[in-house]
Chains A and B, each alone.
Chain A
Amino acid sequence: MMEPLLDVKELTMDFGGLRALDKVSLQVLPGEIVALIGPNGAGKTTFFNCITGIYKPTGGDVFVTPPGKKQRRISGMKTHRVTAQGMARTFQNIRLFPEMTVLENVMIGRHCRSRVGVLGAILRDGTTRREEKDIVDTSYAILEKMGLAEEVNELAKNLPYGDQRRLEIARAMATGPFLLLLDEPAAGMNPRETDALEELIRRICKEDNIAVLMIEHDMRIVMSISSRIYVLDYGRMIAAGTSVEIMENPVVIKAYLGEEEIEDDKCS
C-alpha cells in the first residue's frame, strides 16, 4: 500500500576516476517531505541530476510509482521523460527563462501535459484554442497560489530574487508532478522569507498532494518541516531517520563538525 513514490536503490555515479555517489539508497513515501542534507560537495545536486536523467548513473536503479499507477524504472530515462512521469525539479542556481514572462515560464511547465503541435499552432483551431486557454488558466492559478499573479507579464529576469525562487517552484508545479525535487529552495533567503517558504511547501504537500524531496542547508526549515532526513557525505549515505534521530546521530555531528552544537544553541 505504501509503495514509495521514489525508490532509489544503490545509486552510483562515477566521473572518470571520481566516485561522486556510492551506493546511495533513498525512498520518498506519499505525503512526505523528505530532506537531503550534507556538507558542501557531498553529492546532493549530483544525486538530483542522476535521478532526473541529466547524468546517466553508472550503477544502481531508480524507480518511481506515480499514484495509481504501476512502478516503473526510470534509470537512464531522458530528463524530459522523467518530468513527464511526474518528477519535477528546481535548480540550485536559478535557471529560469529570463527573456520570457513570468506567465510563460510557468506555461512551459505545461508543455508535457499538452499536445498541440505545429499544425495546430498554425491553424489555431478549436482544440488548439481550448488547450491554450487551459494552459493559461492553469498557469495563472498556480501563480495566484504562489503569490506571483501581480507580475504575470513581467520578464522573469526582472524579478527580485525571492520571487524568482518562487517562480521556479511554480514552474515545476506546472508540470503536474507527484514529487517535487527542490534544490536549496531557501538559499539566500532571510528568516522571514524562509518562514513563508516553509508555509508554501507545507501547503503544496497537503493541498496538492505533492511529495517533496528537498536539498537544503538551512537547518531550521529542514528540522521544521521534514518528516525524514537523509544525510549524505562524500557521496555516501551516512544516516537516515527522523529529525530527532539525525540531530543526535554522532556520525552526522562529526560530518558537520560542530554545526549541530551551534544549532542546539539557536533552538533553546
Chain B
Amino acid sequence: MFLGGLTRGSIYALIALGYTMVYGIIELINFAHGEIYMIGAFTALIVSSVLAFAGMSGLSVLFLAASVAIIYSAAYGFTVEKIAYKPLRQAPRLSPLISAIGMSIFLQNYVMLAQTSDFLPFPNLLPELTFLERYGLKIGSSEFIILLTTAVSMVLLMLLIKFTKMGKAMRATAQDRNMAMLVGVDVNRTISYTFIIGSVLAAVGGVLIASHIGRINFYIGFIAGIKAFTAAVLGGIGSIPGAVLGAFILGWTESFATGYVSSDYEDVFAFVLLVLILIVRPSGLLGRSTVQKV
C-alpha cells in the first residue's frame, strides 16, 4: 500500500508540476492540462502500435513512443496556450478559466471522436528489470521505473529552474510579470516555455501510467487532472516542491483509504481533500498566503 501510494504520488506529481508552474506564472488553472497528459498517452499508444505492427519491439519502442509523445504533448500545450489563453491575459479571471474548461472539453471530445470512446489496451512498454526479481513482492519493475523516472525528472526540473537562464526568467515572471518585462525578459516565450515543460512532464506521466495500468481512454485526463490539481493545491499552488509534496500525500491517502475504507469511494477522497484544503488553508501547505493590496 505504501508503494502503491508512492507510485500514485509519482504520477500525480508529474502532472501536478504542470499545474503549479502554469498557475505560478499566469495565475490560471489550466483545466486542459489533464488532457495534455491524456494526449501524451494516446500518442504513445499510436506510435507504439504502429511500430509494433512494423515489427519493432523492446526498448526502442519505448523510447520512440515516449519521445514522440513528449514532442506532441509539448506541441499541444504550446498551441493551447497560444490560442486559448494568450488572448485573455488581460481579461478578468473568469474568462481564461472558462476558456480552459472549454478547451478541456474540446480536447476530450476531439480525441474521443477521432479515435474511439472505448478503452484501448496499452502495451506495457516498460522493460522488465531482472535485478528486481528478488524483490518481486515488494516492488515491481514498472513501479521502480516510475519512481526512478519521477525522481530524475524532479531533479532535472529543479536544476533547470535554479540554474538556467530560462529558469530564472520563469521565476521572475512568476513573481512580477511587468517588472520582468521591464528588465528584458521575453514574457511570451517564458510562458510558452512553462507550458511546454509542464506538458513534457505530463506526457512522461502519461506514458508511464498507461504502461503500468494497461489501458487508456479519452477520459483519463479529467480524473487525473483533478487529482493532480488537488495535489498542487494541497502543497501550495505556485510552489514546485509543494506540488510534489501534495502529490505524495494524496497518493498515500488514496492508497490507504481505498485499502482500509472502501475502494468505491476512491475518487471521492481526492475531491474531499481538495475541498477541505481550499477551505481550511487555501494557500496550501507550502504556499505563502498573499495579502490583498487594497
> Majority SS of interface residues in chain B?
loop
Are B294 and A54 in contact, CB atoms less than 8 angstroms apart? yes
Q: In the complex, what residue of chain B is closest to A92 when comparing beta carbons?
A: B294
Answer whether residue B94 sits at the interface, using C-beta atoms and an 8 A cutoff.
no
Q: How far is the CA of A148 from the CA of B291 in the complex (A)?
A: 35
Nearest B residue to A183 by beta-carbon distance?
A: B294
Which B259-294 residues sit within 8 Å CB-CB of chain A? 291, 294
A91 contacts B294, C-beta separation under 8 Å: yes
Is A249's beta carbon under 8 Å from chain B? no
Q: A49 contacts the other chain (Cβ, under 8 Å)?
A: yes
The verdict on A194 contacting chain B, using a C-beta distance below 8 Å, is no
In whole angstroms, what is the CA distance A15 to B288 when docked? 13
User: Cβ of B291: which chain A residues have Cβ within 8 Å of it?
Assistant: 15
- Encode contact with B along A48-67: 1 for CB under 8 Å, 0 otherwise: 01000010000000000000
Interface residues in A, total, Cβ within 8 A:
5
A7-59 interface (Cβ within 8 A of B):
15, 45, 49, 54
Closest to B292 in A: A54
Complex CA–CA separation, A77 to B291 (angstroms): 18
Question: Nearest-CB distance from A183 to chain B (Å)?
Answer: 9
Q: Which of chain A's residues has its CB closest to B291's CB?
A: A15
B contact residues around A15 at 8 Å (CB): 291
Q: How far is the CA of A49 from the CA of B291 in the complex (A)?
A: 12
Question: Please, which residues of chain A bring their CB within 8 A of the CB of B294?
Answer: 45, 49, 54, 91
Bound complex: CA of A49 vs CA of B292, how far in Å? 11
Distance between B283 CB and nearest chain A CB, rounded to angstroms: 13
Output the least CB separation between A98 and chain B (Å): 10
A45 CA / B292 CA spacing, docked (Å): 13
In the bound complex, what is the Cα–Cα distance between A15 and B290 (angstroms)?
11
Shortest distance in angstroms between A140's beta carbon and chain B's nearest beta carbon?
Answer: 29
Q: Scoring A residues 87 to 126 as 1 if CB is less than 8 Å from chain B, else 0, what string do you get? A: 0000100000000000000000000000000000000000
Neighbouring B residues of A91 by C-beta, 8 Å? 294
A49–B294 Cα distance when bound, in Å, is 8
Q: How far is the CA of A122 from the CA of B291 in the complex (A)?
A: 38
Per-residue B-contact encoding for A147-181, CB less than 8 Å = 1, 0 else: 00000000000000000000000000000000000
Give the docked Cα–Cα distance between A65 and B68 (Å). 72
- A68-95 interface code vs B (CB 8 A; 1 in, 0 out): 0000000000000000000000010000
Q: How far is the CA of A15 from the CA of B292 in the complex (A)?
A: 12
Interface 1/0 per residue, B56-97 and A, CB below 8 Å: 000000000000000000000000000000000000000000
A15, B293: Cα distance in complex, Å: 12
**Complex alpha-carbon distance, A45 and B291, angstroms:** 14
Q: How far is the CA of A15 from the CA of B289 in the complex (A)?
A: 11
Q: Shortest distance in angstroms between A149's beta carbon and chain B's nearest beta carbon?
A: 30
From residue B206, how far is it (CB to closest CB) to chain A in Å? 40
Query: Which residues of B are found within 8 Å of A45, using beta-carbon distances?
Result: 294
Nearest CB of chain B from residue A80's CB, rounded to whole Å? 14
Residues 88-119 of B, flagged 1 when their CB comes within 8 A of A and 0 if not, give 00000000000000000000000000000000
- Given the complex of chains A and B, what is the CA–CA distance between A91 and B294 in angstroms? 8
Q: Give Cα A171–Cα B291 distance, bound, in whole angstroms.
A: 26
Distance in angstroms from B289 CB to nearest chain A CB is: 10
**Minimal Cβ-Cβ distance residue in B for A45:** B294
Closest 5 CB pairs of A and B: A49-B294, A54-B294, A15-B291, A91-B294, A45-B294
A residues adjacent to B (C-beta < 8 A): 15, 45, 49, 54, 91
Instruction: Give 5 CB contacts A-B under 8 Å.
Output: A15-B291, A45-B294, A49-B294, A54-B294, A91-B294
